[in-house]
Amino acid sequence: MDDTCIEFDNVLAGYGDFMILNNLSFKARRGKITLLLGPNGAGKSTVLKTLFGLLKVRQGRIRLDGQDITGAGAKELLVQHGVAFVPQGRNLFGQLTVWENLELGGITLGMKTTHARIPEVLELFPRVKERLHSRASALSGGEQKQLEVGRALLLRPKVILIDEPSIGLSPLVVADVFRLLRRLADEGTTVLMVEQNVKSALKMADEAIALESGRLVLQKPAGDLLSDPNIERLFLGGAHAGAAQPA
Ligand SMILES: Nc1ncnc2c1ncn2[C@@H]1O[C@H](COP(=O)(O)OP(=O)(O)OP(=O)(O)O)[C@@H](O)[C@H]1O
């Protein structure tokens, strides 16, 4: 059986007249964690935004479980196709409480279903659970990221797009977030993630995709890349770091 969940087929997309994804094609498997790598500006975040309908696809197709979703908007993707997007940075309503942020996350479900699901989600995040009535802005960075992931999980998504979840978090919290993503994938959720913390992310991911100038330059099992002696040169010092060394 074909286990492709996400498929980019020759996708051209960008901002205004400036194209960032240049005929990008790749596949990500169902129930796996696929990591998007590449130098700054390669188009990694743009892949997530384009998939989530925030950028227009100028050419090519995007498919989800074989269904053409090209041109679908964020709301349709979220509600009808079960795609959740956790963008980079802070995306909570800081003045509202943890509970209120969760209620807003479930707005498309209706309050009855949302209230029934909130306790399930909180079981995953004991520290957030203890602070239900605190303002979201009063939580630590790690707790806020956990709340954002929890808010996305309320919708029981089949696909999670997550952009640099480790930014601003301590290594211990990053490990918690990665463990959670691993567990979700093992339970069948497809995860497509951008992460600068390349070595830690490769340890928990299944597959790695590398972009350069909006094109696919490599797709490999994450473990193979982790043991590749060129990894430092390729992804930790920028794609051209080796070439830039003085003779
Ligand atoms: N809203 C925007 N308007 C115009 N150009 C943008 C916008 N957002 C991003 N870009 C440009 O698109 C290119 C790709 O950006 P993107 O954020 O996808 O890269 P990235 O691979 O995720 O990089 P990074 O690792 O630095 O986050 C960059 O040149 C960036 O300047």
Q: Find out whether 62 and 9 touch, Cβ atoms under 8 Å.
A: yes
Q: Are 136 and 244 in a shared domain?
A: no
Can you give the pLDDT of all 247 residues of the chain as single tens digits?
689 999 999 999 999 889 999 999 999 999 999 999 998 899 999 999 999 999 999 999 999 999 999 999 999 999 999 999 999 888 899 999 999 999 998 888 889 999 999 998 998 888 899 999 999 999 998 889 889 999 999 999 999 999 998 887 788 888 888 998 999 999 999 999 999 888 899 999 999 999 999 999 999 999 999 888 777 766 655 444 333 333 3
Minimal-distance CA residue to ligand 1 atom 17 = 45
For position 233, what pLDDT does the model report? Answer: 66
Q: Within this chain, do residues 173 and 150 fall inside the same structural domain, yes or no?
A: no
Q: Are residues 66 and 162 in the same domain?
A: yes
Atom of ligand 1 nearest to the CA of 194: 22
Both 112 and 211 in one domain: the answer is no
125, 156, 187: which is the final residue of a domain? Answer: 156
Pick from 109, 134, 156: which residue ends a domain?
A: 156
**Nearest atom in ligand 1 to 43's CA:** 18
Q: Which of 100, 127, 156 is the last residue of a domain?
A: 156
How far is it, in rounded angstroms, from Cα 43 to Cα 36?
9
Q: Measure 134 CA to ligand 1 centroid, in angstroms.
A: 34
Contact 215, 184 (CB under 8 A): no
pLDDT of residue 236: 59
User: Read out DSSP for 24-43?
Assistant: EEEEEETTSEEEEE-STTSS
Check whether residue 140 and residue 151 sit in a common domain: yes
| CATH code, domain carrying 208 | 3.40.50.300
One domain, residues 172 and 247: yes
Up-side HSE of residue 159: CA atoms within 13 Å toward CB?
A: 26
From atom 28 of ligand 1, which residue's Cα is the shortest distance away?
Answer: 41
Same domain, 109 and 202: no
Whether residue 189 sits in one domain with residue 236: yes
| Ligand 1 atom closest to 38 (CA) | 21
Whether residues 62 and 164 fall in one domain: yes
The answer to whether residues 161 and 233 belong to one domain is yes
Tell whether 124 and 163 lie within a shared domain: no
Q: How many domains does the chain have?
A: 2
Q: Which domain holds residue 185?
A: 1-82+157-247
Question: Among 125, 48, 56, 127, which Cα is nearest to 88's?
Answer: 48
Q: Which residues contact 237 (CB under 8 A, 6 or more apart)?
A: none
Determine the straight-line distance between the first and last CA of the chain, rounded to whole angstroms.
50
**pLDDT for 238:** 47
Shared domain for 163 and 48, answered yes or no, is yes
Asked if 5 and 160 count as a contact pair (C-beta separation under 8 A), the reply is: no
What is the spatial distance between Cα 196 and Cα 237, in angstroms, rounded to a whole number?
11
Structure tokens at 228: 């590749």
The label of the residue with tokens 């100038």 reads 213
